[in-house]
Structure 1
Amino acid sequence: MRLRELRKAGDLTGLQLAERLGWPQSKVSKLENGKQTATADDLRRWADGTAHPNAGAELTSRLAALESHTRSWRRQLASGHRAVQETLNAEFARTETFRAWEGAMIVGVLQTADYARHIFTRYANLHRSPRDIEDAVRARMKRQVGLYEPGGRYRIIMWEAALHAMVCPPAVLAAQLDRLTGVIGMDTVELGIIPFGAPLRIPPANGFWIFDERLVIVEDWHAELWIDDASAVSTYERAWDTLQASAVYGADAHHLISRVRRELRADTP
């Protein structure tokens, strides 16, 4: 919207601005309609081309704010998955209470190395990103040191579907389920599982992670959303509390995971 305002204030058509900047007209249209992400250089040239050079700083500032909250996978994974994992490790290091909801796969901080390896491979295939799988796995495993350090608290809830998802070979999933039963009872971990038959107060939508009360990270197919607005964070906290009310813990969670583990063994040739 702001780009269109500047163009019109400069009394320019899209074609005229494109010719002035040496761009295809389609680029001007895509930038104005949000169908293409502008670079900082694009925005500076737009400001100059519309005779509003002072607007350049405003536009690049808006871009920086947008990118800090919407982190596209295309940009984040330009050099592979390891850098993303190291960024997350820094957030974990400064967090006292971590809350997570995951409905589709095992939460990263509880993954085995083999399970993580298959997850990273599948996402590298999806995003066509550099395949630094082993470096990414090692970076993710570093995060798990916090599970054994006093003072930290991990409150994790998962839908039963995450226990069944065959995103890896059966033997790898079996070992992953054994890992989950092993964390039940740890002083630093509170693991809840929502059974398939449990009544739900809200739909089990996409996963999210809450870092203390300051940050929420939501994963989508095209990007991660980093949310630090207090009101929005509160919404995710309410969503987590609502989902948590349907979860089972302790011995009940252990029995549920063990049942899935036995079913997996029965189905494995």
Structure 2
Amino acid sequence: MRDINRARQQMGARLKELRLDARLTGRQLAARYGWQASKVSKLENGRQTPSEADIQAWCDAVERPDEAPNLISTLRAMETLYAEWRRQLKLGTKARQQSWAEMEAETSDFRVFESVLIPGLLQTGEYARLRLSQVIAFHEIPNDLEEGVATRMRRQEVLYNPAKTFHFVILESALHLGMAPPDVMLGQLDRLMAITMMPRLRLGIVPMRAPLPFAPQHGFWIFGDRAVHVETVAAELTLTLSDEIEQYARLFDWFTRVACYGPHARRIITQTMEALSA
């Protein structure tokens, strides 16, 4: 969200600059189009997102129509950063899973961090069914559970592509939280054991008592150097600014330093399985 607010504020600053260069007051600009005077202030201070029509009208008023195409392009890019779940999921979970598969097909280097969930590419069918059934119930979207699960499972074929590399880091808490009943979780943990043996794939587990380098506020996926995807309850953020991507990459590196890999990771998984079976 911070990325979106920054982009909105930058656009507002540019609109204000254009108005001042044209020696127009905010009231004069608003009066020309019958706008409320407060609209100009909100647009210039990043408290309201302009429409494409607003941008075109603004550039005409300040006699800078040449600025309109760039500003409209910026607006469209900004709008892709924030997509409401209901709009994305209105066709059901299958369509959303297919969209993820398209992004994964275009990426060769994956870095994934999760604090409370097993990442989708590593899930068993039973675990995925629980996750997607929750999404369907919470967002009240079409119930295409079986199609969604099947598509998520097909997505996992990307793990065997020799042209791609994967690095997953998860907190040990994701192995213990009540996200699945014991029998489902045992199957999921067994799947993670097998994952640790795969080529071109690294799985790190941050132990429960490890000193965390930063508060794990949410999970995130880094797609090469192109974008970071962050899921919230109500929306998905797509961050594309280079400094934002760099921040997430740095945070990922910090967590890798306290994560356990190979035999140490397998020991954590085994101990969790033993505790569940007791």
TM-score by length of 1: 0.79
Conserved? CA contact 1:44–1:60, under 8 Å: no
Provide the residue aligned with 2:120 in structure 1.
108
Are positions 1:143 and 2:155 aligned together? Answer: yes
Within the candidate set 168, 185, 189, 1:173 is matched to 185
Conserved? CA contact 2:55–2:71, under 8 Å: no
Within the candidate set 118, 129, 132, 2:144 is matched to 132
Number of residue pairs aligned between Structure 1 and Structure 2 = 253
Are positions 1:73 and 2:85 aligned together? Answer: yes
Q: Partners in 2 of 1:45 and 1:210 — Cα distance?
A: 34
Q: Following TM superposition, by how much is the alpha carbon of 1:37 offset from its aligned partner in structure 2, in angstroms?
A: 7.9
SS where residue 150 of structure 1 aligns? coil
Provide the residue aligned with 2:172 in structure 1.
160
Conserved? CA contact 1:70–1:226, under 8 Å: yes
Residue-by-residue CA offset, 1:160-179 (whole Å, 9 max, x unaligned) = 11111222222111111111
Letter in 2 for 1:156: F
Are positions 1:204 and 2:211 aligned together? Answer: no
Q: Following TM superposition, by how much is the alpha carbon of 1:137 offset from its aligned partner in structure 2, in angstroms?
A: 1.3
Provide the residue aligned with 2:6 in structure 1.
none
Q: Partners in 2 of 1:99 and 1:11 — Cα distance?
A: 47
Are positions 1:264 and 2:276 aligned together? Answer: yes
Q: Following TM superposition, by how much is the alpha carbon of 1:105 offset from its aligned partner in structure 2, in angstroms?
A: 0.4
Q: For the structure 1 residues 175 and 245, does the alpha-carbon distance in structure 2 shift closer, same or farther, using more than 3 Å as the test?
A: same
Q: Following TM superposition, by how much is the alpha carbon of 1:62 offset from its aligned partner in structure 2, in angstroms?
A: 4.8
Within the candidate set 176, 185, 190, 2:202 is matched to 190
- Give percent identity, aligned residues only: 35
Conserved? CA contact 1:163–1:177, under 8 Å: yes
Q: Partners in 2 of 1:136 and 1:37 — Cα distance?
A: 34
Are positions 1:250 and 2:262 aligned together? Answer: yes
Q: Partners in 1 of 2:75 and 2:128 — Cα distance?
A: 33
Q: Partners in 2 of 1:11 and 1:36 — Cα distance?
A: 16
Residue-by-residue CA offset, 1:113-153 (whole Å, 9 max, x unaligned) = 11111101112222222222222212211221122232321
Unaligned 5+ segments in structure 1 are 19-27
Q: Partners in 2 of 1:84 and 1:248 — Cα distance?
A: 32
